[in-house]
Structures are given as C-alpha cells and as structure tokens.
C-alpha cells in the first residue's frame, strides 16, 4: 500500500498487479499460470474481436473466447461431477481426476467473459494495455470470492481514478465492517449451525434453528467479503458496485434475487437471459429461458446436484409468482408475502448447505418432523439460550434498521458531529475485537471460496 501511493500514477496498476499475483501465488502457486493464461487469452481475443469487427471472424473469435473460458472452468470444476454421473448411469469405472479447484476461477472467468462479450457488443472499448487488463482480472480485493466486477464498471478507472483521504477513510471503514460481519457474526452463527446440526437427539426446533443460523451465516459471510472487497477497492480508487441490498426484507423471490448476490444475478440476466429472449417471448419460451438461467445459476455454485436442485427451487417459485402467487399476495397485507419469502429462503439454504441430496432430504425432513422426532428438548433450549444474542444481532443486522437509525441521527447537526467523532473510534474498537478473535480462534475460510 505504501509503495502504491508513493509511485506515480503510471506505475500504480503495475504495483497492484504485482501484489495481486503474489497474493494469488501464495495460495495457489501452480494455478497462477492458469489465471495468467486466461488473462492473455482474453487480451488476445479482445484485440482480434475488435480488429475484425463487423465480419465473420469477429463472431468466430467471440465464440473461441467463450469456449476457451468456459472450457477451463468446466474442466477444473466439473470434470469429476460428470465422471461420477457417467459411472453411476452406465456402471462404468472411469477414474476421477481429483483436481483441486482453482481459487476464484468461477469469478474471474465470468469477469473475462464480460470483457470479451462487451467488446464484441461495442459496450466496452478494447483494452490495448495488457497490464491494465491483467490488473482488472487479478485485482486482489475481489479476486477470490467476488463480487463479479464487470469490465465496464472499472474501465475508466483503470486509466484515470481519484485517490483521496475521503475514499481511503470510507474504504477502511467498509473493510472493517465487512471483516467484523464475517468474524463476529458469520463464524459464530456457523458454530451454532454446526452444533445444532450435529446434536445426538434431533428436534424440529433445532432443525429450524439450523436453517436460520445457516442462512444468516451465508449472508454475513458473503456480504462481509463483498464489503471488504468494496472497501479495499475504494482505498485504491475503484468504485465496485454493491453486491447485497438487505435481501431478507424482500416481498417476493424475484425481489430477493434483485437484492442477493446482485453481481451474479445481473451477469446471468445480461449475458444469458436477455440473449435467450428474456421475457419478451411466448410463455413456453419464457419458461425455457427461466429454467436454463436457474439451472446455470445453481450449477455455477458447485458441482453437486444439491446446487442444481437449489437453482430449480428458485425457478419454480419465480414461475409460481409470475402466474399466481403475485396476484394472491397482492390481496393480502404485505407481512404475509414477507413471511412466505423468508420461509422459502430458509428452505432453499438448507438445500444449498446440505451434504448431497440425501443430506438435503434428511435436513428438510427434520424441519417438518419426519420420523416422529421430538419438537423440543433441553439441549435445544440450552443452545438457543446460549446463542440468542448473536441470533438477534444477525436478524436485526440483516435489515436496514441500524443503517436507517444512523442516517436519522446524522440528519441533525449535533448528530452528524457525534457520528463523525464516534465512527473512527468504532472502527478501531471493532478491528481490535476482530484481531482478538483471530488470535484466539482457528482457521475459518470464506464460504464462497469453494465456489
């Protein structure tokens, strides 16, 4: 960071690129070559698409860029999934490749695809500097777990960006808030989820506590990482788009997906759903488009049938909303649509977090008392009481209540002064608490690293 701010602007991208490559190399030495190959491929394809614009060859090079990128992602992420299913279906015995999943490949593949596709569409200028394009792809704040930063979002800032104390201060604050969400809330909720899920005497109440804890853990873990990425990006003068907007307050599943993992949702909308025809097609075609997008959304998350089932779960609800549920809930108070959405989300993330389809069936069965399991037990009461505070913090923190309260206080002159004084104190205290947790705790990777 010191070196970055010392060198002239012409050298800043080079410092960021070098730091990003070292950062990635520290965790994935051999796969750094894969990422570099992806960058060079996208760079060359971008130049060729632009060079032959308006001809058959421009389309040809667009498709070779897509096939190359998707091919690498498919080979490293999904090879064993297909081999297992072929072996199961045809009773064959093909050996698994057992490849380690390159960190961040799902994210940087989609970023390079957005670049070449936008160059082809004329929505982005071809990047003639390999250093700038490599900096965009390898930029360490969001490299390994998102958000998916579109090339057009940072196109101008790769060449011209502003550095200021205001940006730096905002970036540090946002980073610490994200880190605190991950370490203090997500990890604690994860411990609760793991504990109640592994109870010897399963209960219906424990299954629902697990559903709530696992869902909130995923939200605070991933949104915390996104906050950290946005904060680090701002320190270096980049304005990444928001990735979460309080999704648990949604009144429909469609609204939930406009608020949850927004960078992924808009990516599939712009590069898959709309090119397929979107919703300006016949009813049958719209159903097909929806199924394709949500199959791919689920499959993008992981090489397991649980993720495909998770995607299809949302596709089913989006169809039901379009044809029936929206009209039904429009006649009722809004609280009912909110309850319906929260219920559906909890079910979905139990499927998402399950250990295979068998695990998903078992977890969902426990939530509805399958096998005659008890509703309550003293052990359930003990863990609920022990974690009640963090559950309350998680539930309140998943709504804009705290943010709105702070903004309300800032509307007054005295309140604004008090907030200006307390904010840096709050950031320092939170950083100290998080550091204490790190010293006392164990390794806890971000959940989205595995995607």
What would the pLDDT profile of 395-416 be if each residue is shown by its tens digit?
999 999 999 999 999 999 899 9
- Cβ density class 394-433: b for 16+ within 10 Å, e for less: beebbeeeeeeeeeeeeeeeeeeeeeeeeeeeebeebeee
**pLDDT band at 371, cuts 50/70/90?**
confident
Q: Is the pLDDT of residue 31 over 70?
A: yes
Cα gap 56→62, rounded to integer Å: 10
For 81-102, the pLDDT digits (tens) are: 999 999 999 999 999 999 998 9
What is the CB-side half-sphere exposure of residue 73 using CA atoms within 13 A?
22
As a whole-number percent, the residues of the chain with pLDDT over 70 amount to: 98
Residue with tokens 């949104």: 223
Asked whether the predicted pLDDT for residue 283 surpasses 70, the reply is: yes
**DSSP assignment string, 340-390:** HHHHHHHHHHHHHHSSHHHHHHHHHHHHTTGGG--S--HHHHHHHHHTHHH
Please give the sequence-ordered ranges of beta strands (E in DSSP) within 132-253, or none if there are none.
none
Handedness of CA 413, 234, 162, 427 (dihedral sign): positive
Is the backbone of residue 99 left (phi > 0), alpha (psi -120 to 50) or beta? beta
Matching residue, tokens 């998080």? 434
Q: Which of 10-19, 365-374, 434-443 has the lowest mean pLDDT?
A: 434-443
Structure letter (DSSP) for residue 241: P
State both tokens at 312: 């299809």
| CA dihedral (175, 181, 184, 188) positive or negative | negative
State the average pLDDT over residues 241-257: 96
Contact between 51 and 168 under an 8 Å Cβ cutoff? The reply is no
* Angle at 258 (CA atoms; ends 255, 264), nearest 5 degrees: 145
Q: Is the confidence at residue 373, as pLDDT, over 80?
A: yes
Mean pLDDT (whole number) for 155-176: 95
Whether the Cβ atoms of residue 297 and residue 310 lie closer than 8 Å to each other: no
Per-position b or e across 149-179, b if 16+ CB within 10 A of its CB: bbbebbbebbeebeeeeebbeebbbbbbbbb
Residue showing tokens 């039901």: 320
Q: What pLDDT shows up at residue 449?
A: 65
Q: Which of 45, 261, 301, 338 is catalytic?
A: 301
Per residue in 302-333, pLDDT (tens digit) is 999 999 999 999 999 999 999 999 999 999 99
CB count, 10 Å around CB of 227?
A: 24
CA distance 382 to 192: 11
> Is the Cβ–Cβ distance between 142 and 238 less than 8 Å?
no
Give the pLDDT band (50/70/90) at residue 446.
Answer: confident
Q: Using CA atoms, how far apart are residues 23 and 143, in angstroms rounded to an integer?
A: 10
Buried b (16+ CB within 10 A) or exposed e, 302-322: bbbbbbbbbbbbbbebbbebb
> Average of pLDDT values for 358-387?
93
State the chain's mean pLDDT as an integer: 94
Active-site annotation holds for 261 = no
Check whether 271 has a pLDDT greater than 90.
yes
What pLDDT score does 189 carry? 95
- pTM given for the model: 0.93
Backbone φ, ψ for residue 216 (5° rounding): -70, -35
Residue 200: pLDDT band by 50, 70, 90 thresholds?
confident
- The SS3 of residue 48 is helix
Percent of the chain with pLDDT over 90: 90
pLDDT (0 to 100) of residue 437: 85
C-alpha distances out from residue 236 to 21, 128, 135, 351, Å: 16, 22, 12, 38
Burial of 449 (0-12, 13-18, 19+ CB in 10 A): middle
Write down the number of H helices and E strands in the chain.
21, 0
Q: What is the dihedral sign for C-alpha 330, 213, 141, 298?
A: negative
| Mean pLDDT (whole number) for 121-146 | 94
pLDDT at residue 145, as a whole number: 84
451's tokens = 């995607």
Which backbone phi and psi does 156 adopt, to 5 degrees?
A: -70, -40
Q: How far apart are CA 5 and CA 23, in angstroms?
A: 18
């Amino acid at each position: 960071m010191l070196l970055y701010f010392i060198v002239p602007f012409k050298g800043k991208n080079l410092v960021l690129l070098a730091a990003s490559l070292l950062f990635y190399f520290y965790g994935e030495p051999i796969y750094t070559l894969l990422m570099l190959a992806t960058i060079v491929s996208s760079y060359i394809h971008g130049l060729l698409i632009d060079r032959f614009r308006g001809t058959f060859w421009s389309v040809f090079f667009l498709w070779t860029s897509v096939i190359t990128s998707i091919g690498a992602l498919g080979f490293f992420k999904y090879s064993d999934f297909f081999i297992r299913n072929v072996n199961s279906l045809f009773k064959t015995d093909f050996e698994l490749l057992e490849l380690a999943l390159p960190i961040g490949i799902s994210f940087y593949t989609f970023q390079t695809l957005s670049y070449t596709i936008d160059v082809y569409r004329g929505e982005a200028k071809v990047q003639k500097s390999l250093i700038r394009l490599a900096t965009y792809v390898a930029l360490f704040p969001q490299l390994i777990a998102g958000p998916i930063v579109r090339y057009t979002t940072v196109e101008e800032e790769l060449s011209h960006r502003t550095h200021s104390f205001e940006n730096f201060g905002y970036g540090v604050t946002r980073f610490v808030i994200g880190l605190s969400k991950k370490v203090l809330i997500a990890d604690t909720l994860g411990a609760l989820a793991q504990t109640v899920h592994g109870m010897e005497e399963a209960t219906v109440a424990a299954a629902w506590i697990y559903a709530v804890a696992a869902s909130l853990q995923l939200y605070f873990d991933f949104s915390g990482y996104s906050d950290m990425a946005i904060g680090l990006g701002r320190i270096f003068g980049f304005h990444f788009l928001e990735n979460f907007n309080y999704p648990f307050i949604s009144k429909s599943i469609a609204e939930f997906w406009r608020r949850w993992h927004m960078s992924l949702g808009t990516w599939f909308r712009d590069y898959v759903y709309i090119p397929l025809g979107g919703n300006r097609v016949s009813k049958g075609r719209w159903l097909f488009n929806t199924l394709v997008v949500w199959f791919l959304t689920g499959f993008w998350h992981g090489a397991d049938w649980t993720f495909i089932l998770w995607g299809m779960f949302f596709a089913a609800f989006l169809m039901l909303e379009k044809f029936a549920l929206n009209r039904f809930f429009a006649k009722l108070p809004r609280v009912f649509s909110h309850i319906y959405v929260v219920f559906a989300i909890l079910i979905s993330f139990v499927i998402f977090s399950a250990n295979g389809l068998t695990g998903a069936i078992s977890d969902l069965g426990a939530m509805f008392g399958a096998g005659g399991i008890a509703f309550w037990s003293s052990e359930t009461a003990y863990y609920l009481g022990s974690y009640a505070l963090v559950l309350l913090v998680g539930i309140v923190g998943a709504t804009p209540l705290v943010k709105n309260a702070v903004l309300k206080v800032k509307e007054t002159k005295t309140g604004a002064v008090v907030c200006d004084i307390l904010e840096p104190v709050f950031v320092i205290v939170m950083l100290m608490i998080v550091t204490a947790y790190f010293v006392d705790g164990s390794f806890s990777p971000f959940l989205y690293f595995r995607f």
